[in-house]
Structure formats: C-alpha cells, structure tokens
Amino acid sequence: MSNHESTVSAGTKFLKTYIDSGAIAPIKGHRVLTEIPRLKFDHLMLINLNDASNIKDDLKDLYPPFGNFVNQLNLFNVLNHEHDFALINLLTQKILLIGLGRKCRIFCNDCLLGDELNWAEKTGLNASQVFTTKTATTAAFEPYFFGDTNNVAMNFVEHFCNIGSQIREREFLDITPYDIDRILNSDEDEKLEILEELGIELDDFQYAHKKLIEIEKSLMASLKFINKYFPDLREEDLNSEDFL
C-alpha cells in the first residue's frame, strides 16, 4: 500500500480501512477495480454506522452530504434519530441511508439528495418466513439495489425492518415482558395475585406469552441474519427506544 500511497484515492483508503476493521461488509456482486493492483471491491457494501470508531467523521470528510444527517437538531432542539446503516452502490454511485426512528419504524434517505424514501414494511413476519419477496420494488429504490442479484442487500434491509417491527410489537403487548416473566416464575397463588393486580385474565396472559415467544423468535432470526455481516451488533444497538 505504501508504494502507491500518492495515487490511492481517499475513497479507496476509506473502504479498505473499514473493510479490514469489519465496519464495512462487502456483498457479493460485480468486482470494481481500484488504483491498487489486485485490489477489487464488491460493488455493493454495507456500512455499520453504529461502529465504535471514527467511521461517521471519516465518512463526513469523504462525502460531505452525509454531514447533513449527523448531530442535527429538530424543531424541539432534540437530536434527530440517525441512520444505523448505509448501503453503497459503486456502480450507480448511490448511497442509501437506513435507520430505525420513532417507534422503531424504518426510515431511509438518499445520502446526496437528502430525499426520504418510503420502505414498505411487511406485516405478520415470523421466524420461518423466507425474505425473498421484494417489498420496495418501486423505481425509487432500484438505483441503490442495482446488481443485487441474490437479494442479499434487500434481505438485509428486510431483516433490519423486521427487527424494528418486532421490537414495536413487543413494546405494545398488553402485558410487559417483565410482568410475563414475573408470572411465569410465580407459584399458583402468586400468579393469581399478579393477574389481579394487573387486571389481566389468564387467557390474556397466555395469549401475550405466546405472542412474546413468537416475537423473540422472529427477532432473533433477523438478528442472526444481521450478524452474518456485523457479528457484534445486538438488539440494543438498533433499538431507537423512542416510544413516548
């Protein structure tokens, strides 16, 4: 690398540095040549913007439009939600920013233009469902996913979207996971006391418990997919925790 330092672009340095660190995950696709002999990049790459590094600052320096999405205050003088991931397409030269915002709903922006794009969320997902059906096949998304022949990038976003959906489902259960756990770990008399305290019928508890199991199973399945590319990410890294 040092022999070519003067001819290597800032973009190549950025990508190589963070691919090596694991903050950028290449997705199989067309191979793009660089200034460094024998060094090629997959044309589709995912950036973990939650990475505990200087990646956001370095991306701002490399691509100033990204700065419009970092440390920005809303009308109430509160920091806006920031994106969790970026999808780079080297062939179309497009960057899609993806995050979980209010009530863990997915939001997407074009990094250059700032345009917000509407990702159609699936409903009723479960852990056994295969994420192969595109739900965002509008023309607006095509430039970002160009060359995603195996739907890897599309599936990544679907799983990320599902994580938000399942967190939201869990948040709005009639009984909190904490209270479900209390009931499960109580004897029969204590169980009845807790149900009476909560004003919950046994049938309602059983339904909520069954629903929680389904939610956790689906959530874990989607996290497992995300962890193929970013092994250290956990639910708490992605949960916006904005439900008020």
User: Three-state SS for 58?
Assistant: helix
pLDDT score for 75: 78
Residues 244 and 241: their CA atoms lie apart, in Å, by 9
Considering all CA atoms of the chain, what is the largest pairwise distance in Å, rounded to the nearest integer? 76
3-state helix, strand, coil in the chain (%, to 5): 45, 15, 40
Alpha helices in the chain (DSSP H): 10-21, 55-62, 142-145, 152-171, 177-184, 188-198, 202-227, 235-238
pLDDT score for 138: 56
Question: Which parts of the chain sit beneath pLDDT 50?
Answer: 1-6, 125-137
Residue 17: name the closest of 42, 43, 50, 54 by CA: 54
Parse the chain into domains and list their residue ranges.
2-238
Residues 133 and 241: their CA atoms lie apart, in Å, by 29
User: Three-state SS for 216?
Assistant: helix
pLDDT score for 14: 96
Residues 112 and 126: their CA atoms lie apart, in Å, by 35
Q: Could you tell me if residue 199 is left (phi over 0), alpha (psi between -120 and 50 degrees) or otherwise beta?
A: left
pLDDT score for 5: 47
pLDDT score for 7: 61
Residues 237 and 120: their CA atoms lie apart, in Å, by 23
Q: What is the pLDDT of residues 32-72, one digit of tens each?
A: 999 888 899 999 999 999 998 999 999 999 999 999 999 88
149, burial (CB in 10 Å: exposed 0-12, middle 13-18, buried 19+): exposed
pLDDT score for 244: 77
Torsion over CA of 97, 151, 163 and 119, rounded to 10 degrees? Answer: 50
